[in-house]
Amino acid sequence: MSKIGRLDRRIQFRRFTLVDDGFSQVETWVDHGTLVWAQKTDVSDGERWRASEVQAQVTTRFLVRWSAFAADITPKDRIVCDGLEYNIAGVKEGDGRRQWLEITAAARTDQ
């Protein structure tokens, strides 16, 4: 099966921006571009204690087709998939030059 057949999820990229609410500049995340087809593979999960609270987290690898838009995605952006918002840890070129991008990201699963 080709990799294209495994692109079975629609993801939305989100970009950090400052918005003027009339009083001051407010930090917010806004949708960036249109939905993108992706392959989603969970690579690890776990729990950790932080400030007397247990946090559950999943690390996921997303594979998307290379495009000029996708190549502009950085760890400063986020991904929304299946109701979870993922912080991007890294973006690298996948198999084949300018064919695929592999994005590693993590999301809290206890919210």
* Cα(110)–Cα(54) distance, integer angstroms: 9
Predicted TM-score (pTM) of the model is 0.82
What fold characterizes domain 3-108? Thrombin, subunit H (2.40.10)
DSSP structure string for 31-85:
EEEEEEEEEEEEEEEEEEEETTEEEEEEEEEEEEE--HHHHT--TTSEEEETTEE
Contact 80, 12 (CB under 8 A): yes
The more confidently predicted of residues 111 and 59 is 59
**Is the per-residue pLDDT at 4 higher than 90?**
no
**Is the per-residue pLDDT at 111 higher than 80?**
no
Contact 101, 92 (CB under 8 A): yes
3-state secondary structure of 17: strand
Contact 78, 36 (CB under 8 A): no
pLDDT band for 97, please (50, 70, 90 cuts). Answer: confident
**Is the per-residue pLDDT at 1 higher than 50?**
no
Which residue has tokens 């699963």?
Answer: 109
pLDDT given for residue 109 in this prediction:
83
Domain positions in the chain: 3-108
pLDDT band for 64, please (50, 70, 90 cuts). Answer: very high
